[in-house]
């Protein structure tokens, strides 16, 4: 069979269970996953949001000698520092106000298996020190305890940003980066997976067709052309969302262009706005874009500043207001991690404090 990476020509490059696509970029991922699975070394999964990092992490565990042990997932970007500390390492009764009983942490729960640390780039410097110790010494203490706990666990971490840049700018420890980056696997964005759009579309049509009692086997050529030309800022997760919606709305056995969002069928400006699409009223966003576009020069060099930045700022303000200015809730509604939201708020001059009182957990 053909291989996307000549260095691994003898390694199976067929799709892993649960993954779809045979592009050269993904064939390399399949090969690297199979090679890495046999090891106990740390794996670092790199790629944009929605590229399937959790699926690869699950495949690494499933193909490893630890498959009979637990596979524990932790989203590091979804919790505050104190909660994540307790979540990862556990705590003892009385260690803080709400600690009414001893609690086993995720590292203990993963003993004999694999722990997957998603959005590891979101961890604080304090937690990074603790993670480094676990990786080096395979030991830690629960919050509020002095007893050292030994663990046998394989660590898989994931980041949706450039960790080299995070290291160079002092936001991520270099020593931890090298401990995590033993076996890096880079997941390509959907826009670089040539030939994978159609099989993914057919896969999701089948999945959601079955779930909704429909059978949609045909794809209109114009719909497929638009899907292939769209840049997919949300990657496979975005495609999955759009196909599920299309299946629910479909009135025939064919995927029609009218079933796809305007962002996919429309112009470049709207496609850029699709990165921020969680609002309940897309018409307001579209109207805002069109008003801006009509006032901007069509050939202006600063078209992004004229259109997309104001739309992003407007959306952030609306979502924050709907969430009572609770940043964690707003980040969840937008589908981004809290650090990314805070950077955007700072950029637009909307930030108060990363840990303001309204965002207390």
Same domain, 54 and 103: yes
Cα angle 188, 194, 196 (rounded to 5 degrees) comes to 85
- Please state, in angstroms and rounded to a whole number, the distance separating the CA atoms of residues 316 and 34: 41
- State the pLDDT at residue 11: 83
Rounded Cα–Cα distance for residues 332 and 336 (Å) = 6
* 76 shares its domain with 56: yes
Q: Residue 157 CA to chain centroid, in angstroms?
A: 12
CATH of the domain at 226: 1.10.8.60
Closest CA to 58 of 25, 16, 20, 13: 16
What's the domain range around 206? Answer: 194-266
Which tokens go with 59? 């495949």
Residue 26 placed within a domain: no
220 and 321 fall within a common domain: no
Per DSSP, helices labelled H in the chain are 24-37, 53-62, 81-89, 106-109, 125-137, 163-168, 174-180, 197-211, 221-229, 235-249, 262-265, 268-273, 282-295, 303, 309-322, 327-334, 338-347
Look at residue 30 and tell me if it is in a domain.
no
Q: What is the CATH number of the domain that holds 343?
A: 1.10.10.60
Q: 201 by DSSP, 3-state: which? A: helix
**Both 117 and 172 in a single domain?**
yes
Sign of the four-CA dihedral 122, 124, 125, 131:
negative
In this structure, the answer to whether residues 253 and 352 fall within a common structural domain is: no
C-alpha 217/C-alpha 206 separation (Å) is: 8
Tell me if 118 is assigned to some domain: yes
In a domain, 205, yes or no: yes
Domain end point (choices 127, 161, 188) = 188
**Structural domain total, the chain:** 3
Which of 148, 167, 188 is the last residue in one of the domains? 188
What is the domain-level CATH number for residue 156? 3.40.50.300
- Averages of pLDDT over runs of 10 residues in the chain (361 residues) are 53 90 95 95 94 96 96 91 86 65 87 96 93 92 83 95 91 95 96 96 96 94 94 93 94 93 67 42 51 52 62 77 77 79 80 51 37
Q: Both 250 and 122 in a single domain?
A: no
23 inside domain:
no
Q: Which pLDDT value is given to residue 151? A: 93
pTM for the predicted model, two decimal places: 0.70
Quick one: 204 and 341 in the same domain? no
Residue 20 in domain: no
The pLDDT, as a whole number, for residue 316 is 80
Contact in structure between 104 and 151 (CB atoms under 8 Å): no
**Nearest by Cα to 193 from 88, 81, 82, 51:** 51
Count of helices and strands (H, E) across the chain = 17, 9
**140 and 51 together in one domain:** yes
Q: What is the pLDDT of residue 286?
A: 53
Residue 2, domain member (yes or no): no
Domain identity same for 223 and 359: no
pLDDT of residue 300: 53
Taking only Cα atoms into account, the Rg of the chain, rounded to an integer number of angstroms, comes to 22
| Residue 222 CA: distances (Å) to CA of 47, 120, 203, 228, 242 | 29, 40, 19, 10, 16
Q: Are residues 183 and 53 in the same domain?
A: yes
Say yes or no: 179 and 321 in one domain: no
Looking at 139, 158, 188, the residue that finishes a domain is 188
* 117 inside domain: yes
Kindly state the DSSP code that residue 343 receives in the 8-state scheme.
H
Are 82 and 113 in a shared domain?
Answer: yes
Report d(CA 65, CA 20) in Å as an integer: 24
- Residue 160's CB is within 10 A of a number of other CB atoms, namely 22
């Amino acid at each position: 069979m053909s291989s996307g990476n000549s260095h691994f020509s003898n390694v199976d490059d067929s799709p892993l269970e649960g993954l779809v696509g045979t592009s050269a970029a993904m064939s390399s991922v399949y090969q690297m996953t199979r090679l890495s699975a046999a090891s106990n070394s740390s794996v670092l999964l790199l790629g944009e949001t929605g590229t399937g990092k959790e699926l690869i992490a699950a495949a690494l565990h499933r193909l490893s000698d630890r498959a009979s042990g637990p596979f524990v997932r932790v989203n590091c970007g979804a919790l505050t520092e104190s909660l994540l500390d307790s979540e990862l390492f556990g705590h003892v009764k009385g260690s803080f106000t709400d600690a009414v009983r001893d609690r086993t942490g995720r590292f203990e729960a993963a003993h004999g298996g694999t722990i997957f640390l998603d959005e590891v780039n979101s961890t604080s410097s304090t937690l990074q020190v603790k993670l480094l110790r676990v990786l080096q010494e395979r030991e830690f203490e629960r919050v509020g305890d002095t007893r050292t706990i030994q663990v046998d666990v394989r660590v898989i971490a994931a980041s949706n940003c450039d960790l080299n840049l995070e290291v160079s700018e002092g936001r991520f420890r270099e020593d931890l980066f090298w401990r995590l980056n033993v076996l890096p696997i880079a997941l390509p964005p959907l826009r670089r997976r040539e030939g994978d759009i159609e099989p993914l579309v057919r896969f999701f049509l089948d999945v959601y067709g079955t779930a909704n009692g429909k059978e949609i086997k045909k794809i209109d050529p114009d719909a497929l052309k638009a899907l292939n030309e769209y840049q997919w800022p949300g990657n496979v997760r975005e495609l999955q969302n759009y196909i599920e919606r299309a299946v629910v709305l479909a009135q025939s056995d064919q995927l029609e262009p009218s079933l796809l969002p305007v962002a996919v069928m429309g112009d470049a400006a709207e496609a850029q706005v699709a990165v921020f699409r969680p609002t309940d009223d897309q018409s307001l966003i579209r109207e805002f874009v069109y008003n801006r576009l009509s006032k901007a020069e069509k050939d202006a060099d600063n078209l992004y500043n004229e259109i997309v930045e104001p739309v992003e700022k407007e959306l952030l303000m609306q979502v924050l207001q709907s969430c009572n200015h609770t940043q964690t809730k707003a980040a969840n509604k937008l589908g981004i991690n809290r650090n990314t939201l805070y950077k955007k708020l700072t950029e637009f001059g909307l930030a108060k404090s990363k840990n303001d009182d309204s965002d207390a957990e």
